[in-house]
Amino acid sequence: MAKEFVCVADECWDLSPPDWFNREWLKTPRSTRLFESYLKKAPEGLIPQGTSTFQGSYCMTAEGDYLGGAFAWVDRDRTVQLLKSSLENFRKKSDGEMKPVPENELPLYVGPAPAKGGLKIQLAYRDLPRGSNRYPQTDRIERPVNLGFLDLKPEEVREFLPEGKEAKTLSQVLVKKISQDCLKDCARGQCNVDKKAFRSGEWTVKESGRKGKLRTIELRGTSSLDGGGVRFEPTIYGQLEYDEGEGKFVHFDLVAVGQRSGASEFNFRRGDEDAAPLGVAFRLFAQKK
């Protein structure tokens, strides 16, 4: 049944964002316009008046015409019935003419496509064990696992290559960018976003081994961030592998581990403000086929 539809997950809370959330990308995205068109043609009462959220299961044509819908959580049986009735409505509207569902692969990442010579790094954020608590969580943050992405330009990637066997210190510009963009207290999809949180940092790379054209490079560093009521003092350990024959990194594994503390509007830490260990893992992103 689901194969007859194009399944899409999108954020629809942005249909009427508050003034403080008036970001350029929220104003007129195509997904928002499509859902606005759908709601205009949907039966009155599909979505309760005054609600601040729009999650649910909604079926529409490519033009945004209403086929069916259910607000909020929908169980399996109701979902099957919704798909059946929506498909029947579509066949009536289209006189039975069906277009094949496109099978093109969609990118499974956030941000721009990896640039030639650049790198796309996937990040994973996680609260770390605290004493006897091996799987820390709070009442408001269950399984606080979060994913993110870092895009490095070709000139930034080259900084990670030491010349010879001597240690090389990365530029403050690059250390600040990675620290500010990636070393955050990220919990339940929310992050501290203070743009002046970076205080200091020093990262170095050094060749630690070579086998044929494959260079192994160790990265060591520290960073200090303090802003927006949140502090993070991580130590960074990394092992990179660069294939000189291919002219690219084939492994880019880093981990930043340290104490975070404080709370902000964005990280859901109210009631969990004391210092506690946080880890951020970096690895090369690989598109799954």
Give per-residue pLDDT as tens, 5-61. Answer: 888 776 655 565 555 555 555 555 667 778 888 989 999 989 888 776 788 899 998
173 and 198 in contact (C-beta within 8 Å)? Answer: no
Per-residue confidence band for 194, with pLDDT thresholds at 50, 70 and 90: confident
Could you give the CA distance from residue 198 to residue 5 in angstroms, rounded to a whole number?
A: 46
pLDDT at 130 over 80: no
pLDDT at 288 over 70: no
C-alpha 161, offset from chain centre: 27
Higher per-residue pLDDT: 142 or 87: 87
Per-residue confidence band for 162, with pLDDT thresholds at 50, 70 and 90: very high
User: What pLDDT was estimated at residue 139?
Assistant: 46
Q: What is the pTM of this model?
A: 0.69
Higher per-residue pLDDT: 179 or 37: 179
Could you give the CA distance from residue 263 to residue 230 in angstroms, rounded to a whole number?
A: 6
Could you give the CA distance from residue 69 to residue 76 in angstroms, rounded to a whole number?
A: 14
Query: Helix, strand or coil for residue 188?
Result: coil
Nearest Cα residue to 263 out of 150, 141, 151, 176: 141
Neighbours of 151 (CB within 10 A): 18
For the chain, where are the E strands, in sequence order?
A: 56-60, 66-71, 119-127, 145-152, 168-169, 186-187, 190-191, 198-211, 214-227, 230-243, 248-262, 276-284
User: What pLDDT was estimated at residue 95?
Assistant: 67
Q: What is the mean pLDDT of residues 114-137?
A: 81
User: How many CA atoms lie less than 13 Å away from 13 in the CB half-sphere?
Assistant: 7
pLDDT at 269 over 80: no
Per-residue confidence band for 186, with pLDDT thresholds at 50, 70 and 90: confident
User: How many CA atoms lie less than 13 Å away from 187 in the CB half-sphere?
Assistant: 28
62 and 34 in contact (C-beta within 8 Å)? Answer: no
pLDDT at 142 over 70: no
User: What pLDDT was estimated at residue 12?
Assistant: 56
Instruction: Give Cβ neighbours of residue 137 (< 8 Å, ≥ 6 apart).
Output: 127, 143, 144
User: What pLDDT was estimated at residue 50?
Assistant: 77
User: What pLDDT was estimated at residue 53?
Assistant: 72
Q: What is the mean pLDDT of residues 98-105?
A: 66
User: What pLDDT was estimated at residue 28?
Assistant: 57
User: What pLDDT was estimated at residue 2?
Assistant: 75
pLDDT at 190 over 60: yes
Q: What is the mean pLDDT of residues 93-100?
A: 68
Residue range 218-268, pLDDT digits in tens = 999 999 999 988 999 999 999 999 999 999 999 999 999 999 998 877 766
